[in-house]
Copies of this chain bind each other. A is one copy, B any other.
């Protein structure tokens, strides 16, 4: 039995355990083995661990101070498998990203400014720099619960996160195929898609191509016969086209994400710009992955994309107002030091801290169970 220092935090609409990178180094065990056992995987309930049995509650944030130029903190995201004894390191989680600045300031890794502090966070999964601004009046981190975001009923402390020059971090290009739209094979319905890589690789498809409106509750979408399977087949073929895997079978569950997009019923000054239902880890997301919202924002600005044709030509803000199952999530676009920065405001909260307990090996379930 071994205790590992850990903090449990909500970041946006996710819950993640936060670890210092060095603390996960355990003799004779890989980090994957350590995380899986701590989380209680494989087990659909994760009843013997700290995982929550859902994709948004089986996440780890692993942090270390950085000595790289222009970087304060190195941040690695792990999606810990639930029923499968597998850790997915292939993508970032934008919601979990929201906890990094606060944790780093509390650890004393980053000196504070006044009245806010910008923490330069490098996500190592995607080589993405995220500049996070948190209020630090008088040089002291202020975690007053002053903002509310869709999908979280309680207010939380705000963090303004900007993804710096996010295009092509996973594949090298904003549009990995060199085209703003592609037509997939007849095997997956010959559907037209936009493949875009910003924040995370995303496949955007028009809801009408799948016989749904696109603004349904996710519980309703879950019940549409064959829909999840069809969308996953599209996602897998798209993943291969984007160069993320050699074959459909080898495409990860978390990457690319898939966005089912449609025109909002009331578009305009008061309405959303785009309605979205996004697939992550095989299920519809209760709100929207932050990384996915970055991708859709850049896709909306490029003519020829599936997204561009659905959003208003003239919009009141530089970003995109996304109609999600939980409510409207707005992104922003700005330019800093000559490069585009796409971002969102999230909230976060520390839920618990102390240590998690790693049992002695063997670390896999007994065969009889």
Contacts and interface: CB of A to CB of B under 8 A. Distances in A.
A286 interface: yes
Contacts of A356: 351-352
- Interface size class, chain A: 35 or more
Contacts of A257: none
A179 interface: no
Given A1-B143, A154-B365, A6 B352 contact: yes
Nearest to A4: B352
Given A45-B286, A148-B366, A352 B50 contact: yes
A349 B48 contact: yes
Interface string A337-369: 000000000000111111111011000011011
B357 A152 contact: no
A53 B124 CA distance: 31
A153 B357 contact: no
Interface stretch (A7-15, A241-249, A315-323): A7-15
A10 B351 contact: no
A155 interface: yes
Nearest to A52: B52
A14 B47 CA distance: 7
B368 A148 contact: yes
Given A355-B352, A357-B351, A48 B1 contact: no
A94 interface: no
Interface in A8-38: 8, 10, 13-15
Chain A binding site: helix, strand, loop or mixed by DSSP?
Answer: loop
B357 A352 contact: yes
A292 interface: no
Interface in A47-76: 47-50, 52-54, 56-57
A43 interface: yes
- Most chain-B CB neighbours within 10 Å: which of A6, A15, A48? A48
Interface in A146-205: 148, 150-156
B354 A349 contact: no
Contacts of A43: 153-154
B153 A42 contact: yes
A212 interface: no
A92 B134 CA distance: 44
- Most chain-B CB neighbours within 10 Å: which of A45, A49, A356? A45
B351 A154 contact: no
B154 A48 contact: yes
A159 to B, nearest CB: 15
Interface of A: 1, 6, 8, 10, 13-15, 40, 42-43, 45, 47-50, 52-54, 56-57, 143, 145, 148, 150-156, 286, 349-357, 359-360, 365-366, 368-369
Given A13-B47, A48-B156, A352-B354, 20 more contacts: A10-B47, A14-B47, A40-B351, A42-B153, A43-B153, A43-B154, A48-B152, A48-B349, A52-B57, A53-B54, A148-B366, A148-B368, A150-B369, A153-B365, A155-B366, A349-B357, A350-B357, A351-B357, A352-B352, A353-B357
9 contacts: A40-B154, A45-B286, A48-B152, A48-B153, A49-B351, A50-B352, A148-B366, A351-B357, A352-B357
